[in-house]
Structure formats: C-alpha cells, structure tokens
Structure 1
Amino acid sequence: MSQTLRNKMLARMEEVRAQVAERDELIEIIAIALLTRKNVFILGDTGQAKSAVINLFRAGITGANQFERLMSKQTDEEALFGRLDLSSLIPGGVPEEVLEKDQHYQELRRKLETALQTGGPDSASQLADLTAEMEQYRKALAELHSGEPRIITKGKLPDSHIVFLDEIFKAADGILNALLTALNERRYTNEGKTIHIPAISFFSASNEIPNFANPEEKILKPLYDRFELKVVTEYVEDRDARLTILKQKQAAQGTAQNPSAVISLAELQAMQDEVLQVRVPDQVNELMDDVLCELRGKGIHISDRKYFNYAPIAQAKAWLSGRDTVEPSDLTTLCAYLWTAPEERTIIQSTLERMCNDPLKDRLDTILAEAVEGYQEFTDTADAPAARRIGKLRDEFMSLYITLSQMLSNAQSDAEREKINACLEELERYSKEAHASVQYSYVPLRELYDLKTS
C-alpha cells in the first residue's frame, strides 16, 4: 500500500471538508465511490451544499474529463451522448473523429495553416500542393471509413471520467434506457454502434425520491437502483460550524480558490488497484452474512446482488484507514450501500454499529440470551417430568457450549479469550442451577462434551 497515494486522497477529502460543514459522510462516500467505481445519489433539501460538495471534490481530480448537466424533460440524447456525425453517412465523407485522430492528416493541416500565415512568393504553389495532397489523403481515408455511422462524443458523457447529472429523475422517458445502460454497463449504443464510456462514477442529487408506487414514476425505479451508494443531507445544525463557514464565504467573496490537494487520473486509477488488493478475511464475510440475516429479519430488503458485491466498499474504507485487511468495524460504512428507503437508515446503522463495532460482544450476548431463554422455559415447565426438562435443557446448552468452544479456539487475543471464558462460566452457572433445582447430579458441560466426542 502506497502511503503517498492514501495521503493524497485524505488531503483531498480534508480540503473539501474545510470548505463545508457537517458533510463528513458525504465526503467519505464520494471518495469511496471514486475508489470503487460506484455511483452516488444524494438526497436533501435545496441549499444543503449537495452539488457544491460534489463539485468541490471533483475539481481536485486532474486529467479527468468531466461532464455536468442539469436534467429536465427537455434534455435529449444528443445533449448527453453527442450527435450523429452526418459526414460519416455521406458517400465520400470522412467522420470528424477520424480526421482528428489521424496524425498524418493533422500534420498536413498544420503545414497548410503555416503556409497561409507566412505567405511569400512561392506560397500559391505551396498551397496548391498541400491542398492536393490533403484532398488525396482525405479520399483514401474516405475509402476506409465512409459509411460507418459515428457519434461526435467530444465533451459529452461518453468522453468523460466523472459525470454529474443533477436532478436525474427529471429526465425524459425517452432517454431512460440509454441512461440505465450508461450507469450500469458503461456503454452507449446508437445507429448500431456501441461506444465504451470511461466513466469512473456517476453522481446525482435531488430533493426528492420518485414515488415508485405511482405507475407514472415506477419506470424510474431501475434508474434509482443504479446508484449503489446513497447519502441523505440535512441543514447544518451546529452553530459554531455554521458561523465558521459563513465567515469563510464572506472573506472569500470575489476570489476564486483553486484546489491545492489534487489527484491525477493516473493516481486515482492506482488507488483503485490498491483497494482491490485489500484482503477480506473469512470472519468478515461471515459477519456480513450475519448482518444480512439480521436486517432481513427486521424487514429490510437486501438483494443477493447487493450482498454478493459489498466487499469493495469495505475494502475502500479499510484502505482509507491505512490497513491492508478489512476489519469488522469497516462494515459500518455499508449503511450508505444497504438502504433503499431513507427511513431504513436508522435500523441499518444501529444494526451495523451493534454487530460490527464489537462483533464478539454482540455474538456472546446473543448466545447468553439463548441460554437465558432456555433456562426460563425450563423453570416455566415445572409440571413436566424432570428428566425430560433437564434433558432438553442439557441438549440446548451443549449446542451453545460447542459454539463457544469453537469461538475460543479461533480467538485472536487474550481479551477475546477472556470474554468467551466468561460466557462459558455463565452457561455453566445456569446449567448447575437447573440441575440443583430438580436434584439431579451436576456434570460440567466440558465433561459431557468430552464424553460425547470420545
């Protein structure tokens, strides 16, 4: 891992953070999106610096072609993707794209321009020779390329690395399919010709999410789903933070501030390669599966596709933290990846924090809760035969004991072993109390396990 590259990204984030207030989550998500080639949607009321943060951040990415458009029903495909080059369809015509990329033709053109500027007694003859040579060469190019439909994409979306489509849900129905393919597959097809789009990330912002229950707006749901990362902004709450930004803006009136912490396109691509090398341990994947089951159990819809593709987000978070291995706490940043409806955020974030900031404690608490539930059922069924009650409880406790024993053998530190042993002691205490209540001889769970496995 290159510390220099990481420091550059952190410096870009910090420079943006210094110019806005209470936008830490958004800034980090923009960085993660660029590191993982994901798309970002920002939801918030007008005047909450949604567009400003995006623009501030991307202003520091040098060498990257950037495209921005405020979407409306009047925005057509040509405005986004470029127009058809009619010269490419005319017999004998040469597409402008071909002429621009042909080095020999451009060299002839430069010579012709020089001859026109310098003049002189032999200029007429020289101009005639150059013009004839260019015309002959142009005809040769026409033989090779005439009749191939070409799209003039220069300065448009297919020519861009970072794309900001503000108010994307106001797009006309006629361009939705083209937008869907661009966001999901990074390609555009027109007149039978498919163009690869080099876009790293698409960004959009709005003060509302379409009502997908409305038949007229349901068509926008696939477009919404193409934004893997979503952030909600609020108005600045802290008084000191508001005043700090207010004073900065008043002091900077009339002056343009160029970014000082910049990242080149090549450096960004190198960062992306490093993020892919961050290791995801099995225990993190297992924890993520536990999170999935927990959230689905709470009624949060998370698709298999989303679950199977969570890793890059966690890898980017670990990379930003200076680590080459994902830790459980890195999963807490997945809230922006997992929510679909804004009201889901609180449940998802609290679940992630509880399960991922101290996953061992959460798992031990779950095991103890199962032990307490089993013991409570044992005491509530006092009228049932003692042998059946103690036998059922013993089987349940043995299953929990086996789980704890496996966790103990996989413990990574003395602190983890201490917590697991404390849980084992608590389990033994409940078992001993249960045996005493029905006057059965108590055999420690460890000895029962040894007898069972011998």
Structure 2
Amino acid sequence: MSSELYERLRGLLDALSAHLIERDTEIRLSLLAALAGEHLLLLGPPGTAKSELARRLRHALRDARYFERLLTRFSVPEELFGPLSIVALEQDRYERQTAGFLPEASIAFIDEVFKANSAILNALLTLLNEREFDNGSRRLRTPLVTVLAASNEVPEDEAIAAFHDRFLLRCDVQPVGAGRFPELLALPDDIAITVPDACRFDHAELDALRQAAAAVALPAAVVELIADLRAWTLEQGIAVTDRRWRKLAQLLRIAAHAHGRSQVDLWDCALLVYGVGETAAQRATVAQWYGERLGTDRVLQPARLTRVVESFEAQLEFERTATDLNYDAAGRLALEAGAEDDDNGLRSSRRKGLSGFIRPKQYGERHIGARVEQVGALLAEFDAALGGLDRIALELEETVRLHLWLPPDFADRVREPLAVTRAVFAALRARVIDVREGFAALPLADEPGTAPAPIAVDG
C-alpha cells in the first residue's frame, strides 16, 4: 500500500508539472496542501502561472468542482458565495443560491485575496477553517478540499492576521529565471495535461489517507527540532500560533506517510520553511536556520561546543600556568632550577622573597589521566558530530531525488550550510586535540595524586 501510494503520487506530480517551468515547488506544495486539507498562499507578481497551478490541481481529484475568482476592493459577497435567493426572500429567509460558487467547490483559486472586504473575509474565515458556510439561519458543510490564494504582497494590517493564518503553507513565486527563459518562449499556447485516473483521489480516499497519517510518529529528534525552531522564532519575533504548530505537525505526518514511513524524519522538516514566517524575509531566515541545524542537535550545536572547547582551553591554561612552592627531598624550600643567586652567592629568601622558590605546579598521574580521559570524551562527541554530518551529506542527493515534497534545488540550499558546519566542527576538533596534548604534557609529580573534578562547562 505504501509503495503504491508513493508511485501514485509520483505519477500525479509528474502529470501536474508537465510543461511548467520552475514551478516544481509550487506544484508539490499545492498537492501536499490538498492531501492535508490545508490551504496554500502564493505570493508573487502577476503573470507567474499562479492561477494555472490551481487549474491543474483540480485534475488531482475525481469529479472536482472548481471555482475561481479575482477580487478587487469593490468585490461583493455575491461574487464568491452566490446571489441572494429571490424565492427565499419571498419567504422571509436570507439565503444564497450557492450552486456554482465557492460554498460548493472542492478546489478553489482566489486571486488578490487580500483585497477582500471585511464581509467577505469573515465568511471566508469559517469556510476555510471549519469547512462550513453560514447560509441564512443554516450552517452548511462544504466539500472544500483546498484553496489556493494569490497576492502580490501581504498587507501590514492586523485586521487580516487571522485570515492570513488560515493559509498553512506560503510560497514565494518568482518569474522564470534567465537560464530557462528560452524554454518559456518555446511553450505552445494550448497545453493540455493528462492525468491518469488511477492517480487521482476522491474524498473518501483523502479521508482515509489523513486517518492513516495520524498514526505516523514524531520521533524525539523531530520534536526537539520543532521545539528549538519554536524557541528561535520567539526570539526572532516571528509569530506562529499554537494551532499552526499542530497543523504543521500533521502536515509532516502526511508527508512521511506518502513515502510509506512510520515516522517523520529530519528531511521532512524542511517543509516547515513554508509554514513558518509571515514574510519572504522571515521565511529566508527560517530556511537558513534549518540548513544550519540540519545534522546537529541540542548537544552537538556549534555554539554550545565552542563554549565547551573554550572552557577546556581555559582550564588547561590555568593548570599550565599554575605554580607551587619548590620543596627538596628533605622538605625544605629549595631554589628552583634556573633561578639566579644574589651577588653574595646567598640564597636569601629575605632578600629575594619567595619568587626564586616557586616552580610550575606538578600533577599526579591520576589528575593528568582524568583530564585526558575527559578531553577524549569530548573528542568522541566531535567524531559523532562529524560522522553525522558526513552521513547527511551522503544522503542528500539521493533523498532529494526520491523525496516527493522537497524542491529540486533543496540540495543546493543546504549543501553550503552543511559544509560550513562541518568546517566549524573540524576546526574545533583540532583545538580539542591540542588541549588533550596540553594536558598530557603537564609537569608530572612523583606521587599519583587524586583525580580532579570534571571541568565545569557553561552551557
């Protein structure tokens, strides 16, 4: 079943993306949104195939009813929800004729969605979230699967914040790049796509898929990453509601279930980039955070390990420069080797003070052994971190090739952050080796002594 679902979705994506140039990410997100019963907001200039994406998505469902509308600041509710019923008015009922309008659609595209007035927005809020429509005194269930909405930008208006939050996924759409622009010019005017019926879904199949995906586990590493992202967004002032976090977790489960997996993996978490951040700039910073976080965890973080190494280096410097009084075999103070006698050849502590009788502190075998062992444990942490990063790098190309939802350029986005993180770890590891050699070279005392307390680490 899992393999069958994967191949079915792969075929559906191939069919929907045929003859579309540089819109792989948008197609993948629109289909994932439909599977999850969520909505997608496309942000970008006009003429970038945003409406074409929605028109194609309708072919992913059997017998899909499609609705499309361009809003202006003069749009009225009748344009989306249908005209008032004259027959109902004659019977003192305020009802709309919804046939052919949004309340009866399963796939919808709303262009310039933020130009809607408050009357439209209020009705859309309930329809998008609860899949219900208030028609007069009755609240009706709607067959809506997903809404793709488009806008040039998101207005900075607190009044639309709740409406903006209804779109779980947000994607920035750019014009076709210069490298593939000739392909755009060569496209025929009439492009007909063919979606095999075996690849399409009906409402019952979507419900079954979502129920099955609910059993997909969020492993500890994924929960930790999401929790860390939440803490980071709070620090950055990026608003993400608790409802959105819960919906994103379910989206990740559906993404994993599509691959036949019983749990979400860290690659799936790349999709969080499209669900966290209200602006393109915020989404870019989230993508950077994910790239830097990939292959690490709370323990094996560059910042934390840097502090650990600095603590070890500080302890080594302290012990290396520590001094002690120099006693001879008889237990008397003796002039340290290399110290000069005074002009009269006297070793007079009265005239020279104690400075001539001070030597570098010596450490017992147990002390030095304990320090070397502790540094060895830290070195093992670095080896584990570097090994993990190397495994991630090896998985990267194959993962992107097989993953249904990651964009084709995902590998390019994370390859550099991975390399930077690895270089940081490798440099820190070299410093740890120097520290280990420094502890091993401390002056050795005659007595074995005792093992010291572990080096205190801040963070």
Whole-angstrom distance in 1 between the partners of 2:18 and 2:284: 27
Name the residue aligned to 1:158: 103
Larger displacement relative to structure 2 (332-341 or 260-269): 260-269
The two structures, once aligned, show a CA RMSD in angstroms of 4.4
- CA displacement, residues 420-452 of structure 1 (integer Å, 9 cap, x when unaligned): 9xx99986974674586697989889x969xxx
Whole-angstrom distance in 1 between the partners of 2:429 and 2:303: 13
**Equivalent in 164, 172, 176 of residue 224 of structure 1:** 164
How far the C-alpha of 1:299 sits from its partner, in A, is: 4.6
Determine if the alignment matches structure 1 residue 41 to structure 2 residue 41: yes
- Written as runs of structure 1 = structure 2, the 5 A alignment for 1:335-414 is 335-356=273-294, 358-359=295-296, 363=300, 365-378=302-315
Q: Percent identity?
A: 24
- CA displacement, residues 315-345 of structure 1 (integer Å, 9 cap, x when unaligned): 2322344423211111012100112111122
Determine if the alignment matches structure 1 residue 57 to structure 2 residue 57: yes
What secondary structure sits across from 2:275 in the alignment?
helix
Q: Larger % of helix: which?
A: 1
How far the C-alpha of 1:366 sits from its partner, in A, is: 4.6
**Equivalent in 187, 202, 222 of residue 248 of structure 1:** 187
Distance 1:206 1:256, change over 3 A: same
Whole-angstrom distance in 2 between the partners of 1:219 and 1:288: 28
C-alpha contact (below 8 Å) 1:72/1:167 kept by paired residues: yes
- Written as runs of structure 1 = structure 2, the 5 A alignment for 1:431-446 is 433=438
Name the residue aligned to 1:131: none
Name the residue aligned to 1:97: none
How far the C-alpha of 1:24 sits from its partner, in A, is: 1.7
C-alpha contact (below 8 Å) 1:187/1:195 kept by paired residues: yes
How far the C-alpha of 1:259 sits from its partner, in A, is: 3.7
Name the residue aligned to 1:22: 22
- CA displacement, residues 172-213 of structure 1 (integer Å, 9 cap, x when unaligned): 233221122222222222433212223121111122221x1x
Name the residue aligned to 1:315: 253
- CA displacement, residues 24-63 of structure 1 (integer Å, 9 cap, x when unaligned): 2111111210111111111111221122122122234222
Distance 1:331 1:444, change over 3 A: farther
Whole-angstrom distance in 2 between the partners of 1:341 and 1:49: 21
Question: Where does structure 1 lack aligned partners over 5 or more consecutive residues?
Answer: 92-146, 450-454
Distance 1:171 1:380, change over 3 A: farther
Whole-angstrom distance in 1 between the partners of 2:232 and 2:219: 20
C-alpha contact (below 8 Å) 2:320/2:442 kept by paired residues: no
Name the residue aligned to 2:354: none
Whole-angstrom distance in 1 between the partners of 2:45 and 2:29: 19
Distance 1:16 1:374, change over 3 A: same
Whole-angstrom distance in 2 between the partners of 1:350 and 1:430: 32
Distance 1:313 1:399, change over 3 A: farther
Whole-angstrom distance in 2 between the partners of 1:401 and 1:300: 38
- Written as runs of structure 1 = structure 2, the 5 A alignment for 1:7-406 is 7-88=7-88, 90=90, 150-210=95-155, 212=156, 217-239=157-179, 241-249=180-188, 253=189, 256-260=192-196, 262-266=199-203, 267-356=205-294, 358-359=295-296, 363=300, 365-378=302-315
Name the residue aligned to 2:339: none
Question: Where does structure 2 lack aligned partners over 5 or more consecutive residues?
Answer: 325-362, 393-421
Number of aligned residue pairs? 371
Larger displacement relative to structure 2 (163-172 or 55-64): 55-64
Whole-angstrom distance in 1 between the partners of 2:74 and 2:181: 37
Larger displacement relative to structure 2 (194-203 or 294-303): 294-303
Distance 1:28 1:380, change over 3 A: farther
Q: Return the TM-score normalized by structure 2.
A: 0.67
Q: Return the TM-score normalized by structure 1.
A: 0.68
How far the C-alpha of 1:70 sits from its partner, in A, is: 1.0
C-alpha contact (below 8 Å) 1:279/1:326 kept by paired residues: yes
Larger displacement relative to structure 2 (431-440 or 299-308): 431-440
How far the C-alpha of 1:382 sits from its partner, in A, is: 8.4
